[in-house]
Structure 1
Amino acid sequence: MATLLYARVSTAEQTLDHQQAQAEAAGFTFDHVIADRGVSGVNVLMKDRPEGKRLFDMLRSGDVLVVRWVDRLGRNYADVTDTIREFIRRGVIIRTVINNMTFDGSTTDPIQMAVRDALIAFMAATAQAQAEATKEAQKAGIASAKAKADANDYKGRKPSYSRHQYDQVIDLLGKGASVTQAATETGLTRQTIYRIKDEPAAAEKALAMWGL
């Protein structure tokens, strides 16, 4: 039996190190670390990713697969639910660092199975919904920024956060993290976290205005 970490980032400016560091801080140790870099969780299915394919080949019954959260497996509802259920059928135990969730196929009780499957479905749906909300916010911010630029409006102060940090904050707050937790993980001040939390559209627009 082996314990594997699967990590994924979708843009070149993001790093994988913090996913492994966060998992190790939570007490996990790994026999293998599998990572996909620059791969979209929305548009590229797990089985079509370079390291995702490798993960399917490596996992065996009794193995433990650790992910930061289910959105690292993907942000496509059907793909995430299919992937988790396939791994469970193989006898793989899936654990998340955030919220310390465990999914396995050991139970034969129909009620417990129904609760497990419903939770998987909910978490996968949340991952896709967050991706779609972020995309819409980005589109709205860009459109607004272009309109402002056309009118030669002042861009305002340059944001103290990057696009990656903004996405991280939205992601963490969406999962129920506190402002303090979000500040610690992103390296931003609590004041900045509150600004993004209270006015996400304005925070997104500021990034777009500066072309970030």
Structure 2
Amino acid sequence: MAIFGYGRVSTREQTTENQRLEIENAGFKVDYWFTDEGISGKTHASQRPQFVAMLDKIRDGETLVVSRLDRLGRDAEDVLRTVRTLAERKIEVIVLQLGKLDLGSSAGKLMLTMLSAVAEMERSLLVERTQAGLVRAKAEGKTLGRPSKTTPAQREEMITKYAAGETISALARTYGISRASVLAVVNPSREPTGMGPDGVPCAVVDWSDRRKSRGA
């Protein structure tokens, strides 16, 4: 079975040769060597060209050796995803940084359990940071979401025309926006605009436009 090695450096001025020497000095004769040069560590493993090429080349049951855990992904969650993909193919994964640890061994599985916990913590922290950022932006009066495609004056016109009987579709064509965008202007609270036959509130469907399109 062949032994594959993979190295990565963030800039093209750096070299992966030291990583290869480290792997070979650890006693592994590398049959196939893949490197991604000028690829940031923040890049997902699935977006690293040579890492993907290596995955296509390596066969089930063969061995992959890397010098450090971060060669397998950008963060704990990405590394975990990569290792699980390799494990499904019975590919032995050796990480020199962890003392030649085989991630498929009992100790390796324990490491993956810990890695899973770290990944979950990273996800939670990301959610917390995102929510905190939204709260801060709102407190500072910043507008969230996509910028509007219409001006305040145009939105006032839409409301006036809609109240005068102009259809949603006609307004959408006039202002070059979607029907949903028009509805967001004329009915921003998203409150029901009609009542169904069973007494359940429902939205009014703009049937007038549909009849026109059918020649009614």
* TM-score, with length taken from structure 1: 0.51
Larger relative contact order (Cα-Cα within 8 Å, sequence gap ≥ 6): 1
Q: Is this contact kept in 2: 1:10–1:39, CA < 8 A?
A: yes
Structure 1 residue 77: Cα displacement: 2.2
- Structure 2 unaligned residues grouped into runs of 5+: 123-216
C-alpha deviation, 1:119, in angstroms: 4.2
- Residue of structure 1 in register with 2:30 after alignment: 30
Contact 1:70 1:96 in 2 (8 A): yes
Inter-CA distance 2–118: structure 2 relative to 1 (3 Å threshold): same
State the superposition RMSD in angstroms: 2.7
Supply the AA of the counterpart residue of 2:7: A
1:55 aligns to 2:54 (yes or no): yes
Letter aligned with residue 55 of structure 2: F
Identity across aligned pairs (percent)?
A: 33
* Partner deviation per Cα, 1:19-73 (whole Å, 9 max, x = no partner): 001111111101100110010121x211111101112212222100000011112
Q: Summarize deviations over 1:75-109 as a string: whole Å, max 9, x none.
A: 322211100110011110000122221112x77xx
Change (3 A) 1:20 1:62: same
- Which secondary structure does the structure 1 equivalent of 2:73 belong to? coil
2:76/2:115 contact within 8 Å kept: no
Per the TM alignment, residue 123 of structure 1 is displaced from its structure 2 partner at its CA by 8.1
What is residue 65 of structure 2 aligned with on the other side? Answer: 66
The structure with the larger Rg is: 2
Aligned partners of 2:37, 2:19: CA distance in 1, in Å?
12
Are the aligned partners of 2:45 and 2:74 in contact in 1 as well (CA < 8 Å)?
no
| Corresponding residue of 1:13 | 13
Say which SS state the counterpart of residue 77 (structure 2) adopts: helix
Letter in 1 for 2:44: L
Equivalent residue, structure 1, for 2:100:
100
Shift of 1:121: 3.7
Q: Aligned in 2, Cα 1:17/1:122: closer, same or farther, shift over 3 Å? A: farther
Structure 1 residue 114, shift from structure 2 partner: 5.6
Equivalence for 2:3: 3
Specify the alignment match of 1:173 in structure 2. none
Q: 1:33 to 1:76 in 2, by over 3 A?
A: same
Q: Counterpart amino acid of 2:90?
A: G
SS for the counterpart of 1:34 is strand
Q: Secondary structure at the match of 2:87?
A: helix
Mapped to 2, the partners of 1:31 and 1:65 lie a distance apart of 10
8 Å contact from structure 2 (residues 67, 95) kept in 1: yes
- The correspondence for 1:118, drawn from 113, 120, 139, is 113
In 1, distance between residues paired with 2:68 and 2:119?
Answer: 10
Q: Distance in 2 between matches of 1:97 and 1:123?
A: 20
8 A Cα contact 1:70 1:124, kept in partner:
no
TM-score of the aligned structures, taking structure 2 as reference length: 0.50
Question: How many positions carry a matched residue from both structures?
Answer: 121
> Quick one: distance in 2 between partners of 1:26 and 1:78?
27
**Structure 1's 114 and 5: CA in aligned 2 closer, same or farther, altered over 3 A?**
closer
The amino acid that maps onto 2:94 is R
